[in-house]
Structure 1
Amino acid sequence: MTGLSGPESARYAALLPGELKRVPLGALEAIYHLPSGLTHLIAEPMPDLLNAMTALAPGSAVTALGLHALIADRFVIEGDAPDESHERVIGQRLAELAELGLVQIVHPKAAPIAQQA
């Protein structure tokens, strides 16, 4: 899909190993974020998205479309609206994880500013 903007077009990366301590609690998962000292409770599909991201090579970033390609064979992705794209649904979940500090948004490197004479 072209022309995407918003969470589904952003690139996300897992945090460094050891920054999150994860404990499954039945249908929920408790996640302790070591750098901030905050604990979060998350529900499906968030743990599965984090698992898929941590399985990538360290430092790798993925878009919602890329993450969908990684998990589509194992999960059914549905949004609130019947016509909502899978990429939009995953993008929204990734944005929520980023707001909690559980994944990083990877910004492209800005082009250097030319020095004026």
Structure 2
Amino acid sequence: MGFVGMASGCIMFSQQFHAWAHGTKSKLPAVVVALQDAGVLVSRSQHAAHHKQPYNNNYCIVSGVWNRFLDDHKVFEALEMVIYFKLGLRPRSWSEPNSDWTEEAEDSPVTYVT
């Protein structure tokens, strides 16, 4: 029951943790900044790497602890290939960015790509 409760909580809050990775330090609660700085939650700088070309790394949106290992071992590239060959769906990292999947940040002129 403990595992199910913890897993459910992490799933429910993972999108909030991801949203905090897009926030500016001055607008985040101090406890969130402390957790990001400690590596418990994915930091803004870690997650920003996911929004830069070639758009095929740093997929972990909760803590980022596994990003280096998974990227070095090309785990997500392998999963992209499996999905492509099984379902015919091409990942966005295989093509140039376009306006269909870019968004403007609210407080910044920087364009983030998801």
Which bin holds the TM-score, normalised by the shorter protein? under 0.3
TM-score, length of structure 1 as denominator length: 0.26
> Larger % of helix: which?
2
Of Structure 1 and Structure 2, the greater strand share is in: 1
TM (norm. structure 2) is 0.26
Q: Which has the higher contact order (CA 8 A, sep 6+)?
A: 1
